[in-house]
């Protein structure tokens, strides 16, 4: 009978279960706030990825963390013994969660050891470093993923779809705001040689990335101005607040603000027949998406997913097929190019053309 058809189909599917897939081992480099609060717990939500290694300058912390997450002793390394990872077949990929100035060095060393790499944002402190990292991945024939976790979660993906499929007509303007009031003046984020810069490097990069993925274009011109509170000890070396414009080939301008002084947490697309926005836009949980058309405001609800688990799953999938991840080194380099132009424009007080 007709009613039996779906049942037959379902049981036929059950009769041939998918072949069990091999696990995909990660070594986490740097057991700091992000690794502890978000990345290590995310292994509870991954499919193939498992944490099989820890690289740390703190032996006690590494031992305790290994015990908590079941990492075998053979997966424990210091920064000096890190290169021995080449001999560890448990480890397929290295996830670099170090201060920004160490991203390039550890990415290159991991690729030389034949591992895939997931490196946190910002990819590095300069375009030149990005180039060296991309070259190292290519030479090793391994994949490099830059940790733009929002690209892997449903809300951001819905925003991108609404913009690209022109649900409200063509995009006319983009507004991106990202910031927070930074605490402890002694932290590495406020030391230029380590962080590479101030709010632009840490949080402004979310706006740069969003303006690019919402427009689907690369910026041709950047203009930026800065304000840092005079006498504030936090901003002796790095900038506090930056207002910047990115001009795209279609004529769309993204107008953005980056700050270490005030909380800012929103991306908005103004299209011909309506606008859509996320606020909060860059948190790890509790994202919200609103659509405005005429006088109506609609909130859209989507599943809340673990950004880090989705991203680690994605690298495992792309490694298996040896294809570039969604947020690869080239994507990370594009953002660094814009950020270097932002700093140049702040210095020269003139628009900077990107060719
Ligand atoms: P933390 O300072 O909390 O952790 C960094 C860790 O790196 C330290 O705990 C330490 O680990 C290791 N380390 C090695 N050398 C140094 C050094 N010279 N100075 C300080 N630490 C060192 O930083 P976060 O975890 O907040 O940030 C790490 C990276 O992750 C950054 O690039 C940041 O931009 C990115 N990040 C991304 C987020 C996202 O949502 N995608 C959110 C937060 C951060 P150990 O003691 O084990 O050696």
Nearest to 324 by CA among 186, 134, 153: 134
For residue 8, the model assigns a pLDDT of: 35
Cβ atoms of residues 100 and 201 within 8 Å: yes
Query: Is pLDDT of 256 > 50?
Result: yes
Atom of ligand 1 nearest to the CA of 37: 25
Atom of ligand 1 nearest to the CA of 30: 11
Query: Is pLDDT of 311 > 60?
Result: yes
For residue 302, the model assigns a pLDDT of: 98
> What is the arithmetic mean of pLDDT over 93-99?
99
Residues recognised as catalytic: 121, 206
Band of pLDDT at residue 21, cut at 50, 70 and 90: confident
Q: Which of 2-6, 36-40, 96-100, 167-171 has the lowest mean pLDDT?
A: 2-6
| C-alpha to C-alpha distance for 22 and 8, rounded to whole angstroms | 30
For residue 17, the model assigns a pLDDT of: 60
For residue 5, the model assigns a pLDDT of: 37
Q: Which residue has the tokens 């449903």?
A: 154
Band of pLDDT at residue 3, cut at 50, 70 and 90: very low
For residue 289, the model assigns a pLDDT of: 98
Nearest to 243 by CA among 199, 280, 213, 182: 199
Band of pLDDT at residue 225, cut at 50, 70 and 90: very high
Nearest to 256 by CA among 307, 211, 286, 310: 211
**Ligand 1 centre distance from Cα of residue 246 (Å):** 29
> What is the arithmetic mean of pLDDT over 135-143?
98
- Residue 336 phi/psi, 5-degree rounding, is -65, -35
Query: Is pLDDT of 127 > 70?
Result: yes
Residues with CB under 6 A from ligand 1: 30-35, 56-58, 61, 97-100, 120-121, 147, 149, 188, 202
For residue 20, the model assigns a pLDDT of: 63
> What is the arithmetic mean of pLDDT over 112-141?
98
Element (H, E) at 116: strand 116-119
pLDDT digits (tens, 9 = 90+) for 262-304: 999 999 999 999 999 999 999 999 999 999 999 999 999 999 9
Query: Is pLDDT of 29 > 70?
Result: yes
For residue 19, the model assigns a pLDDT of: 61
For residue 4, the model assigns a pLDDT of: 38
User: Could you tell which of 34, 194, 199, 284 is best to mutate to test the pocket of ligand 1, judged by most ligand atoms within 8 Å of the CB?
Assistant: 34
Query: Is pLDDT of 106 > 50?
Result: yes
Q: 124: number of CA atoms within 13 Å, CB side?
A: 24
For residue 162, the model assigns a pLDDT of: 97
Cβ atoms of residues 152 and 232 within 8 Å: no
Long-range contacts of 3-7 (CB under 8 A, 24+ apart): none
Residue with more model confidence, 110 or 3: 110
For residue 16, the model assigns a pLDDT of: 61
**Ligand 1 centre distance from Cα of residue 148 (Å):** 16
Question: How confident is the prediction for the chain on average, in pLDDT?
Answer: 95
For residue 14, the model assigns a pLDDT of: 52
Q: Which residue has the tokens 């993204």?
A: 254
pLDDT digits (tens, 9 = 90+) for 161-204: 999 999 999 999 999 999 999 999 999 999 999 999 999 999 99
**Ligand 1 centre distance from Cα of residue 166 (Å):** 39
Atom of ligand 1 nearest to the CA of 31: 47
Band of pLDDT at residue 6, cut at 50, 70 and 90: very low
User: Could you tell which of 29, 30, 57, 151 is best to mutate to test the pocket of ligand 1, judged by most ligand atoms within 8 Å of the CB?
Assistant: 30
Cβ atoms of residues 142 and 91 within 8 Å: no
Percent of the chain clearing pLDDT 90 (strictly above) = 94
């Amino acid at each position: 009978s007709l009613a039996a058809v779906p049942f037959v189909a379902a049981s036929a599917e059950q009769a041939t279960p998918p072949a069990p897939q091999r696990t995909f081992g990660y070594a986490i480099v740097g057991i700091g706030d992000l690794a502890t609060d978000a990345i290590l717990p995310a292994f509870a939500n991954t499919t193939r990825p498992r944490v099989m290694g820890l690289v740390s300058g703190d032996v006690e912390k590494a031992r305790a963390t290994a015990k908590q997450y079941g990492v075998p002793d053979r997966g424990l390394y210091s920064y000096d013994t890190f290169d021995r990872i080449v001999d560890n077949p448990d480890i397929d990929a290295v996830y670099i969660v170090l201060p920004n100035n160490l991203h390039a060095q550890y990415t290159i060393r991991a690729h030389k050891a034949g591992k895939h790499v997931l490196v946190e944002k910002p990819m590095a402190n300069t375009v030149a470093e990005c180039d060296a990292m991309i070259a190292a991945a290519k030479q090793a024939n391994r994949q490099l993923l830059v940790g733009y976790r929002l690209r892997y979660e449903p809300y951001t993906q819905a925003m991108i779809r609404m913009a690209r499929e022109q649900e409200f007509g063509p995009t006319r303007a983009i507004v991106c705001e990202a910031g927070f009031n930074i605490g402890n003046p002694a932290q590495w984020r406020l030391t230029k040689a380590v962080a590479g810069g101030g709010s632009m490097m840490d949080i402004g990069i979310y706006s740069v990335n969003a303006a690019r993925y919402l427009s689907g274009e690369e910026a041709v011109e950047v203009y930026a101005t800065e304000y840092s509170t005079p006498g504030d000890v936090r901003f002796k070396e790095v900038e506090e607040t930056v207002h910047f414009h990115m001009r795209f080939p279609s004529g769309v301008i993204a107008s953005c603000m980056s700050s270490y002084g005030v909380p800012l947490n929103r991306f908005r697309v103004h299209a011909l027949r309506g606008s859509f926005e996320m606020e909060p836009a860059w948190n790890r949980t509790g994202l919200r998406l609103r659509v405005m058309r005429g006088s109506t405001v609609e909130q859209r609800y989507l599943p809340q997913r673990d950004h880090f688990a989705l991203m680690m799953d994605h690298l495992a999938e792309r490694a298996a097929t040896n294809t570039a991840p969604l947020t690869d080194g080239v994507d990370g380099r594009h953002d660094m190019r814009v950020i270097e132009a932002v700093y140049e424009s702040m210095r020269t007080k003139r628009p900077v053309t990107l060719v």
